[in-house]
Structure 1
Amino acid sequence: MPSRNRHVIAVVVLVPVLAALALWAFAWPASRIAPRDLPLGVAGPPAAAAQVEKQLERHEGAFEIHRYADEAAARDAIEDRSVYGAVVVTPQGPELLTASAAGPAVAQFLQQAVGQQAAAGGAQVKTVDVVPAPASDPRGAVLNAAALPLALAGIAAGALVTLLGLRGIRAGLALLGASALVGMVAAGIAHSWLDALGGDWWAAAGVLGLCTLAMASAVAGLAALLGTAGIGIGAATVMLLGNPFSGATSAPQMLPEPAGAIGQWLPPGAGTTLLRSVSFFDGAAATGPALTLAWWTVLGLGAVLLGSSLKARKAGAEPAAGHREFSAVG
């Protein structure tokens, strides 16, 4: 069979397969959003709190209940990112504490779930947003939308470094420089212009840059070890797993398993979680996602240096082998 015919068949078969994979990766988590062991606090007198906890347990598998002595402790837990919200039993009736900055979709779900439960018992729930999302972006649309451009920037940086033939230290410096500029540009848009991020400007720029660097390093590192095929593998991992499994539009605990867990081990998910922590929660619970991004960066840059070293050795070995053959003939 002529090679051109094989190429036609490859295109006809591979494109639908890739489309099916992309549709599955994006549509499956989005269509199955629901709480799964979502951390939720309950505070108040022991007897009343136990009753509320029992009612919440009717949502089988939905909540991971944490008990707190009073409202102050529950608020501290929300601000520390230990829970997404809390139901507080007060003499005036139940009160729901939320944190829309941790995920507007989660806060909205809690209002619906707890409100309906209270309404069934003839009570009304007062809702207090402990850590609100910015007034200029109450739905978190900017942060949600930022995941895709950062992923594209990371993939583009890793691919360009490879296709331009940069190796070793030069490749690493190019990745660092490009990622740092992406972080500052993204912070300038999301933080300064759109006012969709809080906290320190440089901290936000650092997180955005680190997230980009982690993805760029992964793509360039795979390409350094596997050749140009590594670009495709890295890009597919970031786009088909990292982006839809990131939980940017809701929360990791709102995605079907194992998507939620996988997403937090990949740069887009870890970057989104870290950005929320730094922007709205004074860095609470930032260690885990920061380490995840750091490991991706270190492993990716290490692969870039290793690939460069292996290619240098191979290039040095070929002339030596050719010289030995020439000597033997002579």
Structure 2
Amino acid sequence: MATTPAPSPGRARGPLTLLVAVPLIVAFALWAFAWPAARTAPRDLPLGVAGPPAAVEQLTGQLQQHKGAFEVHRYHDEAAARKAIRDREVYGAVVASPSGPKMLTASAAGPVVAQLLTQAASRTAPEGTTVHTEDVVPAPPNDPRGAVLSTSVLPLALAGVLAGALTVLLRLRGTRAVGALMGAAALVGLVAAALADSWLGALSGNWWAEAAAFGLTVLAVSSTVAGLGALLGPKGIGLGGLLSVLLGNPWSGVSSAPEMLPEPLGALGQLLPPGAGGTLLRGVGLFDGRAVDTPVLVLTAWTVLGLLAVTVGGLRGEGARTRSEETGGEATGTAGTTVLRNRLSDMRS
């Protein structure tokens, strides 16, 4: 009578792993995306105040009533406040003038933030006073809500993850891997700049600087994924995707501002490639390249570390393959010697 073989422990654990892993991954993704969105509010948001000393003191006191909401920067006149907005030191400024308070905003820095600052200025103004608003650095007319920039971070992250994963799966090593990653990033940068600037008109900066910003963002992600994959295998690809897509994208703050996210997500997001890339793109595409030193440094660090990991992982793989070939060669030589001895013994007999 035939007996049915018992299922192996691995096959028995498979369905259980699936039932547990999928809900956990979904819960983690919802936490990473939904929590920051549900808790969006200003937290030490840089805001300027300008005008006569007495008026500045009064405005500062009113703004500080919103505990922890604003980081107030004082300027002696409106011209200094305007310069600070253009240099991306502050997101806007309240100016006290004889004709009443004026709110200077920069919708290019984030339409959500500009709207929030306008509402805050209206609440702090004396009753019956109209607050005049001026957009110092407006968003492009073809993208007044900043939708193109805010939605570009995820495709760039996905492109980087795909390029890095393919580099690992195709077993590219050394200069071939580095060349493939850099070439793919450069092409993505050119295509993205053509779409976002030339076609959609959502960016208004130097075209080549925008292409370089797009490309550097993709290269930082792809080199990180490829480096982790070269060191850790498929698990490294998953870890790189988690850092870039599940954490880097929702924590980038590109749709509002890093200071609008729960702490410390805004600061952490700027240390990941998508957040640094979004800040860099906003700087080169809408603010004439101002305040881009930090995001360039962050992206360069991820790129260098990733390419270094790719190189080390490739050297490790080459060493393992060489040892395997040497071992195989020795085994083949030993087997050949044994066969030859057996034949000679047969001839003698």
Q: TM-score range by the shorter chain?
A: over 0.9
State yes or no: 1:280 paired with 2:322. Answer: no
Q: For residue 36 of structure 2, what is the amino acid of its counterpart?
A: P
State the Cα distance separating 1:114 from its structure 2 match: 1.0
What number of residue pairs does the alignment pair up?
A: 329
- Aligned partner of 2:96 in structure 1 is 89
Q: For residue 229 of structure 1, what is the amino acid of its counterpart?
A: K
Q: Distance in 1 between matches of 2:34 and 2:304?
A: 32
State yes or no: 1:210 paired with 2:216. Answer: yes
Matches within 5 A, 1:205-244: 205-244=211-250
State the Cα distance separating 1:10 from its structure 2 match: 1.1
- Aligned partner of 2:4 in structure 1 is none
State the Cα distance separating 1:144 from its structure 2 match: 0.7
* DSSP 3-state at the match of 1:90: coil
Select 2:26's aligned residue among 19, 36, 43: 19
State yes or no: 1:117 paired with 2:124. Answer: yes
Point out 4+ residue stretches in structure 1 off by more than 3 angstroms: 318-330
State yes or no: 1:50 paired with 2:80. Answer: no
CA RMSD of aligned residues (A): 1.5
- Aligned partner of 2:265 in structure 1 is 259
Q: For residue 63 of structure 2, what is the amino acid of its counterpart?
A: L
State yes or no: 1:105 paired with 2:83. Answer: no
1:266-290 CA-partner distances (Å, limit 9, x unpaired): 0000000011111111111100000
Q: Distance in 2 between matches of 1:234 and 1:317?
A: 29
State yes or no: 1:184 paired with 2:174. Answer: no
Q: Distance in 1 between matches of 2:167 and 2:332?
A: 36
- Aligned partner of 2:139 in structure 1 is 133
State yes or no: 1:304 paired with 2:310. Answer: yes
Q: Which moved more, 1:15-24 or 1:311-320?
A: 311-320
Q: Distance in 1 between matches of 2:246 and 2:172?
A: 27
Q: Distance in 2 between matches of 1:178 and 1:326?
A: 42
State the Cα distance separating 1:131 from its structure 2 match: 0.3
Q: For residue 22 of structure 1, what is the amino acid of its counterpart?
A: A
Q: For residue 227 of structure 1, what is the amino acid of its counterpart?
A: G
Percent identity of paired positions between Structure 1 and Structure 2: 60
State yes or no: 1:313 paired with 2:312. Answer: no
Structure 2 contact 206–288 (Cα < 8 Å) conserved: no
- Aligned partner of 2:17 in structure 1 is 10
* DSSP 3-state at the match of 2:93: strand
Normalised TM-score (structure 1): 0.96
Q: Distance in 2 between matches of 1:284 and 1:290?
A: 12
Select 1:158's aligned residue among 154, 164, 185: 164
* DSSP 3-state at the match of 2:72: strand
State the Cα distance separating 1:174 from its structure 2 match: 0.6
Structure 2 contact 163–181 (Cα < 8 Å) conserved: yes
State the Cα distance separating 1:8 from its structure 2 match: 1.3
State the Cα distance separating 1:299 from its structure 2 match: 0.5
Normalised TM-score (structure 2): 0.91
- Aligned partner of 1:168 in structure 2 is 174
- Aligned partner of 1:72 in structure 2 is 79
State the Cα distance separating 1:310 from its structure 2 match: 1.1
1:16-37 CA-partner distances (Å, limit 9, x unpaired): 1100000000000000000000
Q: Distance in 2 between matches of 1:147 and 1:323?
A: 50
- Aligned partner of 2:342 in structure 1 is none
State the Cα distance separating 1:323 from its structure 2 match: 6.2
**Unaligned stretches of 5+ in structure 1?**
none
Q: Distance in 1 between matches of 2:169 and 2:205?
A: 37
Q: For residue 315 of structure 1, what is the amino acid of its counterpart?
A: R
**Unaligned stretches of 5+ in structure 2?**
1-6, 338-349
State the Cα distance separating 1:124 from its structure 2 match: 1.1
Q: For residue 218 of structure 2, what is the amino acid of its counterpart?
A: T
- Aligned partner of 1:30 in structure 2 is 37
Q: Distance in 2 between matches of 1:278 and 1:94?
A: 31
Q: For residue 306 of structure 1, what is the amino acid of its counterpart?
A: V
1:192-229 CA-partner distances (Å, limit 9, x unpaired): 11100111111111100100010000000000000111
| Rg comparison, structure with higher value | 2
Select 2:300's aligned residue among 294, 316, 319: 294
State yes or no: 1:142 paired with 2:148. Answer: yes
Q: Distance in 1 between matches of 2:191 and 2:324?
A: 45
Q: Distance in 2 between matches of 1:198 and 1:232?
A: 36
Q: Distance in 2 between matches of 1:156 and 1:320?
A: 34
Q: Distance in 2 between matches of 1:172 and 1:150?
A: 18
